[in-house]
A = this chain, B = another copy of it.
Amino acid sequence: MVVVMQEGAKEEQIQHVIDRLVSMGFDIHRSTGASQTVLGAVGVPADFDPRDVEVLDGVREVVRITQPYKLASRAFRSQGTVVELPRGVRIGGNEIVVAAGPCSVETPEQIGMIADRVAKAGAKILRGGAFKPRSSPYSFQGHGEKGLKMMREAAEKSGLLVCSEVMDASQIQMMLPYIDIFQVGARNMQNYFLLRALGTVSKPVLLKRGMSATIEELLLSAEYIMAGGNHNVILCERGIRTFETATRNTLEIAAIPEIKKLSHLPIVVDPSHGTGIRDKVPPMARASVAAGADGLLLEVHNDPEHALSDGAQSLFFEQFEKLMAELRIIAPAVSRTIA
């Protein structure tokens, strides 16, 4: 940590800051310049709040120079993490992995038909919602365990894995037999009760970035899960909230290379929620792969016009198949493969 004193700070102010820092457990290096004094403080405790120094008299600015996360940082593990899943599926390896499926699981027939079709087109994971976080209390909230059962059966028949959202710690045990990946939704990215509970389970967690979460906060939330012992975290960019309303969210494609630099965890992209509208999903899916994403989450539906939720952002089967073909053209440009 570096503490920059104001120009003209008095010697007694500087001494008070040094005394406070020493009492907090820091070692201090002092540099006295022509106009300003700068203090280097070594040994920052994990829960240190830089503002505690910022408010001291004579301080102009405090700069934290260590990242607040450890297990999630690239420094902790210089090689990229590969999350190993059943059926030989690996996220973070050379192959780009596609998860596809409906927003909500509706009927056994629906989910079966979708699983079959996306598997044939190259998807490795069936995604679908059994518990739906809806902004209105009057909207369809999902089929719950019944929906998970339908997904599992459909996935087994088609040779797919299952990824579905967990909304509360109380659901974890029940969900374990049905799913291969726990998905944490954007609205729950800082639900620390849930994150801590997922730190102790034996299955990977796909953690979606909150709509207004910085990349640092996303990595801190991953740290919550990893600190509990579960290092199989897959990060997911799904769009941030900005002033622009022409697009529902702003999918931050540049987060892909940024996260690759800061962390060893794999990063996938959800262009369906990230754009909210079907016609933008293929261009953004192509852009994600071209920018280096490790995988994609795509909403695909057999009959989007009659879907129980998010039909507007679900791809038709033909669109999904065409997209997969396009991705196969792009993958070699980033030295990757795709099924």
In the bound complex, residues from chain B placing their C-beta under 8 Å from that of A211 are: 212
Interface size counted on chain A using CB atoms at 8 A: 110
Which of B29, B278, B291 is close to A55, meaning CB atoms less than 8 Å apart?
B278
Can you list 27 pairs linking A and B with CB atoms under 8 Å apart?
Answer: A2-B65, A6-B75, A38-B65, A46-B139, A47-B140, A49-B311, A49-B312, A61-B65, A68-B135, A135-B220, A137-B220, A168-B169, A215-B244, A240-B242, A240-B243, A240-B250, A247-B258, A253-B283, A253-B284, A254-B275, A283-B291, A283-B292, A286-B291, A286-B333, A287-B287, A329-B329, A329-B332
A170 touches B167 (CB 8 A): no
Q: Does A289 contact B (CB under 8 A)?
A: yes
In the bound complex, residues from chain B placing their C-beta under 8 Å from that of A52 are: 305, 311-312
Copies of this protein chain in the complex? 4
In the bound complex, residues from chain B placing their C-beta under 8 Å from that of A192 are: 133-134, 137, 167
Helix, strand, loop or mixed for chain A's interface? Answer: mixed
Q: Which residue numbers of A lie inside 8 Å of B, CB to CB?
A: 2, 4, 6-8, 20, 29, 31, 33-34, 36, 38, 40, 42, 46-47, 49, 51-52, 54-56, 60-61, 63, 65-66, 68-69, 75, 133-140, 167-170, 187-188, 190-193, 196, 210-212, 214-217, 220-221, 223-224, 227, 240-247, 250-258, 261-262, 274-280, 283-284, 286-292, 304-305, 309-313, 326-327, 329-330, 332-334
